[in-house]
Structure 1
Amino acid sequence: MSILILGLGNLLMTDDALGSRCVAELEKRFVFPESVTLLDGGTLGLDLLPRLEPVDRLLVIDALQMKAEPGTLFRLHGDEVPRAFANKLSVHQMGLQDLLAVAELQGILPSQLVVLGVQAESIEMGLEMSSPVEAALPRLLDAVAAELLAWGVDVSLAA
């Protein structure tokens, strides 16, 4: 079983940095088996398509627009992750939407898809995430570890 943890984000746009920052923190805090790949996908969109081919399970981490209180944690899976977003879900709507749609058309969409994200407060130019999103980062890291454990992946703390 091959698992890809894909963080999306732009480090120059406040809360939009969430996915990239989360992947960096996961690499620091945990040791993963060879079956798990961590990837900071930045804002690459369709350029990420080849990375999905060998993947059985995909865990996407991103800042979300869910019309909720900033810092609220969300978990979407399977059909809850819209292929054609009626409302803007992710701040990377088009890139993620296109990636999933093309992967589905090519028959390489992973059999299990989960999006973990946090409601953004700001996606303005800036190097610091907002206080609510920064405060949600530890809960997001725990949610990633819990998701992997539910998938039967042994996650251990780094030394």
Structure 2
Amino acid sequence: MKNIVVGVGNLLFKDEGIGIYAAKYIEENYTFEPEIEIIDGGTLGFKLMSYFQEYDNVIILDTVSIEDKAGEIFRLPSDVLLGLGNYRKTAHEVEIVEMLEICSVLDKHAAVTIMGIIPEDIEKVEIGLTQSIENRFEEYIAHVIKEIESIGCSANKKNDKTIKQIAQELIGSYNGEHLSRIPNEEDTTWN
């Protein structure tokens, strides 16, 4: 079976980047048997359709626009998602649901599950997560790992990188804290 985890969202808009952070966090901290592909789907939108056709299981990591408290975590299989008309609030949510609708009439398509979390802020232009989403991040990851295991992949922890380390390695910044780009005087690696 071919399985894939796709983190979607936009790192520039606070909690909107949760899917990308989560995918990278899982890639950096876990191994799976059998292997599972993990990608940054960013804002690819309709270009993700090929994954819906090529894979048996697609797990999408994303924010969800459901009326509930920020930080609440949801597991939305495609059949449930198709019934949530009010879910479509951001551009990529619209595209994901439209892709699911198109794929539902094809002969072969993946079992698609969205592992979503309700964001607190997806409008502020800042790299990083709000405190309420960061506080739920480990729990969100635990739910994603459980979902991956439910499709027959065993998970093994290999590292303990934090969300801050992952974000800084990925983009160089996290909630206003930047990686040092100029070596300090004590750094001897530049000699």
Shorter-chain TM-score above 0.5: yes
TM-score normalised over the length of structure 2 = 0.75
Q: 5+ unaligned residues in a row in structure 2: which ranges? A: 160-191
Give the equivalent residue in structure 1 for 2:120: 121
Partner letter of residue 87 of structure 1? Answer: N
Distance 2:129 2:114 in 1: 20
CA-based RMSD of the aligned residues comes to: 1.8
CA shift at 1:102, angstroms? 2.5
The answer to whether structure 1 residue 21 and structure 2 residue 21 are counterparts is yes
Q: 5+ unaligned residues in a row in structure 1: which ranges? A: none
| Deviating more after overlay: 58-67 vs 73-82 | 73-82
Alignment of 1:1-159 (within 5 A): 1-33=1-33, 35-82=35-82, 85-89=84-88, 91=90, 92-110=92-110, 112-124=111-123, 125-158=125-158
SS at match of 1:146: helix
Over residues 71-104 of structure 1, what are the superposed CA-to-partner deviations in whole Å (9 max), with x where a residue is unaligned? 1111112421217x51035632222122222323
Partner letter of residue 114 of structure 1? Answer: T
Distance 1:133 1:117 in 2: 12
CA shift at 1:35, angstroms? 4.4
Moved over 6 A (4+): none
Q: Choose 1 or 2 for highest CA Rg.
A: 2
SS at match of 1:48: helix
CA shift at 1:109, angstroms? 2.4
Distance 1:128 1:56 in 2: 32
SS at match of 1:155: strand
CA shift at 1:4, angstroms? 1.3
Identity of aligned residues (%): 22
